[in-house]
Amino acid sequence: MRLDLLKTLNEERAGRRAAVLVTDLGDGSQRLVKGAEIASDAMAEEVDAALRMGKSRGVEIAGKSYFLTVQAPPARIVCIGAVHISQALAPMAKLAGFDMTIIDPRTAFATPERFPDVKLLAEWPDAVLPAMRIDRYTALCLFTHDPKIDDAGLVPALRADCFYIGALGSRKTHQSRLARMKQAGFTDADLARVHAPIGLDIGAVSPAEIAVSVLGEIIMALRKKPLRAEKAA
């Protein structure tokens, strides 16, 4: 690999930015496609597909062979609320390969005894999220049912490029949430990013079942390929 490409690749890695190294297997030439440049690249569909799956792979385009070396930051889940759903979700997320952080200023809930082997921050979300540099490889879940706490996490998430934002609560609760966010200056397009009620509609009842539905929705948001009908639309 050329030194200039290696330097740029390392810079993107340090900044938690995705990049794909494209190698022409015919002549050995290489170029780097940064995550922010994919949409305008001639191989946009193939590069985006490889990045979504997080796997390097070979592709054939117009009779030529290429190898796509994927560099994607580790996806992470940030949960606002040290509640029963978070307790169930933590081990599932770890098995699925996600880093996980739980934030809750209520010290009676945010205890190491309730959340062993999980990064736990007994702080207000708006105090710690900026330093965490939440980004397009971050999923954020709102679980507290307390607008003061959930909103303190939702505002930074909407300002960032999180690939998933989900919020617990009824449709009525969500309408109140949307009204507050509009007063804070967010648009309908911004608020359309929020999945509420959170999780896939599988009829989940218990905290563990809700955690399964949430993890499934997060994985779908991260990995899902657009359906043909969605592309046409």
Place of tokens 């499934």: 216
> Quick one: what percent of the chain has pLDDT higher than 70?
96
- The band of 225, judged by pLDDT with boundaries at 50, 70 and 90, is low
Where does the chain hold its CATH 3.40.50.720 domain(s)? 76-223
Place of tokens 């710690």: 128
Q: How far is CA 94 from CA 13, 73, 107, 215, in A?
A: 22, 16, 23, 11
Does position 196 have pLDDT exceeding 50, yes or no?
yes
Please say whether the beta carbons of 48 and 5 come within 8 A.
no
Would you give the DSSP letter of residue 118? S
pLDDT digits (tens, 9 = 90+) for 91-114: 999 999 999 999 999 999 999 999
Integer Cα distance of 186 and 195 in angstroms: 16
- CATH H-level superfamily of 76-223: NAD(P)-binding Rossmann-like Domain (3.40.50.720)
User: Helix crossing, 44-53 with 207-223: angle to 10°?
Assistant: 150
Does position 61 have pLDDT exceeding 60, yes or no?
yes
Of 141, 108, 142, nearest to 122 by C-alpha is 108
Q: What is the pTM of this model?
A: 0.81
19 SS3 class: strand
| Amino acid sitting at position 188 | D
Of 87, 94, 92, nearest to 102 by C-alpha is 87
34 SS3 class: strand
Q: Is residue 124 classed exposed, middle or buried when 0-12, 13-18 and 19+ CB atoms within 10 A define those classes? A: middle
Does position 232 have pLDDT exceeding 60, yes or no?
no
Q: What is the mean predicted confidence (pLDDT) over 168-188?
A: 93
pLDDT digits (tens, 9 = 90+) for 19-37: 999 999 999 999 999 888 8
Q: What is the mean predicted confidence (pLDDT) over 1-9?
A: 85
pLDDT confidence of residue 50: 87
pLDDT digits (tens, 9 = 90+) for 153-171: 999 999 998 999 999 988 8
